A and B are shown apart, each in its own frame.
Chain A
Amino acid sequence: MTSATKDAIKDWFTGLGRGAILCQQTIGSICTIKPEWRNVVYQMYFIGVKSQSVVVITGAFTGMVLCAQAYFQFHKIKMDTATLAMVSVAMGSQLGPVLTSLMVSGRVGAAITAELGSMRVTEQVDALRTLAAHPIDYLIVPRSMAMFFVMPLLTAESICIGILSAYILAVFFLGINQTYLWYNMLHYTNGRDIFAGLIKATIFGMIIVMTACYKGLSCRDGAEGVGQATTEAVVFSSIGILISNFFLTMMLNRLLGQP
């Protein structure tokens, strides 16, 4: 192995370890220090509002394309009315949480990294520490708590919009019988699917916020450093979401039982 590869591997593990320490300190801070609710609410507002457009568009178009594709297949075997059931299960358990998280990571995660990164580069983080504010209490805890509350809501929103737009498409453009469509959806969609989806979304939210904060606070000096940290934050959290989605799906399936 060349020394460059060795260094890269070493750096990667060092980063992972530092990230884990950051998570541990964040949890420690939440458990011992009274959170600053004013900041948490502000961050919830910021994350929620910033994500509205992407969440709505992702939900609507994913719902519609799923509906259309499902209809094309189901129509061949005369199962038209199962279309919406297919959409709701897929949206609720997989596509809703995963696509929403990916979009939020590009929108909010990148913004967090860029903000914290430029704060670090311009010595604002040092100024915070000088002014007796712990960066973890002041910067990371409000953002992670906000993400914890907002992520399931955003995902639920995207699932609802997906199903609604699929319903409109199915009934008004594909001409499927609305009563059977709705009945089948309720019959085949299990509460556990949606619940598992929301749990996953919350975990993805934590992956996004911790990656973004870690990358922001550890970015290298200069505008270039901030840009690179932002890109890395989005790439790492997206990959983290996709990989952990598989394992979480298997795990939750075990825990919550087969539908």
Chain B
Amino acid sequence: MIEVRNIKKRFGNHEVLKGVTFSIEKGEAITIIGTSGGGKSVLLKHLIGLIAPDSGEVLVAGENIDRMNERQLLKVRRRFGMLFQGAALFDSMTVAENVGFVLDREQKMTPAEIAKRVEEVLTLVNLNGTQKKKPSELSGGMRKRVGLARAIAYRPEILLYDEPTTGLDPIASDMIDQLIIRVVEETKVTSIAVTHDMRSARRIGKRILMLHQGKIYTDQKPDDLFKSEDPIIHRFVNGIADLKETSL
């Protein structure tokens, strides 16, 4: 479904991605883990053409998206839903307008049908009744859930989640995890989640990729990863800082 071939990206002098290669089959659910500032968000944005790589290729359903212009990309992006790290809700619009944004613009459904679909997805994220609220009136966790509702409202084939649980309390995190798992099971979408929350990574992904120093360091099943003897993986998975970096 998605194939990433040796992509490299630098911002100024800082090389963020140094040759990332991986691929995902249709209907698969994977997570990408890695340190903060390690380029996870940048990698995710490459998959959907929001950032173009300096070199390398991204193929979506066999099509190379790097040579496309913005208008061609819009068609490809219609197949994707993305939950942004900060939810990125449109703050001039209500929750209902946010969630129904794509459906409203496509004009294939009547306003009543759109309202019904919006209610359906908001019920799924446990937020039915907040339709008329503005994003500024919601808490961080509620915003993420609205962001999730907005990403699934138009039934995309591929879902990208950028740190879906970061900054949430354990209960809210658990709820988001459950939701993501349910969405994957019920709708059979391809899903890619980026996170540094290990509990969540383990539950959401059938396969875990670790982004380390601009490359995919490992690509394993969650259980194997947690048993790994490799020092870098072991330290990341168990949250142990390198003593050399912490000495004063």
Contact = CB atoms under 8 A, between A and B. Distances in A.
B45 interface: yes
Given A129-B77, A132-B74, A132-B78, A123 B105 contact: no
A69 interface: no
B88 A126 contact: yes
Given A123-B85, A123-B86, A129 B50 contact: yes
Contacts of A123: 84-86, 88
Interface string B69-89: 011011101101110111011
Contacts of B71: 134
Nearest to B81: A130
B80 A124 contact: no
A94 B66 CA distance: 49
Interface in A94-149: 115, 119, 122-124, 126-134
B78 to A, nearest CB: 5
B48 interface: yes
Interface in B131-159: 150
B146 to A, nearest CB: 12
A130 B50 contact: yes
A137 to B, nearest CB: 9
A123 B163 CA distance: 14
A123 B160 CA distance: 15
B73 to A, nearest CB: 8
**From A115, A130, A131, residue with most partner B Cβ within 10 Å:** A130
B223 interface: no
Nearest to B78: A132
A115 B90 CA distance: 11
B86 A130 contact: no
Contacts of B82: 127, 130
A16 B70 CA distance: 21
A26 to B, nearest CB: 13
Interface of B is mostly: mixed
Contacts, number: 50
Contact of A130 (B48, B70, B92): B48
Contacts of A130: 48, 50, 77, 80-82
A124 B50 contact: no
A134 B105 CA distance: 12
Interface in A13-33: none
Contacts of A124: 88-91
Given A130-B80, A131-B101, A122 B86 contact: yes
B179 interface: no
Interface in B100-155: 101-102, 105, 150
Contact of A126 (B45, B74, B150): B45
A126 B102 contact: no
A100 B141 CA distance: 45
Contacts of B92: 115
A133 B104 CA distance: 11
B117 to A, nearest CB: 15
A126 B50 contact: yes
Contact of A133 (B81, B89, B105): B105
B97 to A, nearest CB: 12
A134 B86 contact: no
B164 to A, nearest CB: 15
A141 to B, nearest CB: 14
A131 B45 CA distance: 13
Nearest to A33: B71
Given A134-B70, A134-B71, A126 B77 contact: no
Contacts of A133: 74, 101, 105
A134 B50 CA distance: 12
A128 B102 CA distance: 9
A131 B85 CA distance: 16
Contacts of B85: 123
A130 B48 CA distance: 7
Nearest to B150: A131
A131 B90 CA distance: 11
Nearest to B50: A126
Nearest to B79: A132
B81 to A, nearest CB: 8
B69 to A, nearest CB: 10
B88 A122 contact: yes
6 contacts: A123-B85, A123-B86, A124-B91, A127-B84, A130-B50, A133-B105
For the complex of A and B, list the 3 residue pairs with the smallest distance between their C-beta atoms, beginning with the closest. Answer: A127-B88, A123-B88, A132-B78
Given A123-B84, A129-B50, 17 more contacts: A115-B92, A122-B91, A123-B88, A126-B45, A127-B84, A129-B70, A129-B73, A129-B77, A130-B80, A130-B81, A131-B101, A132-B77, A133-B74, A133-B101, A133-B105, A134-B71, A134-B74
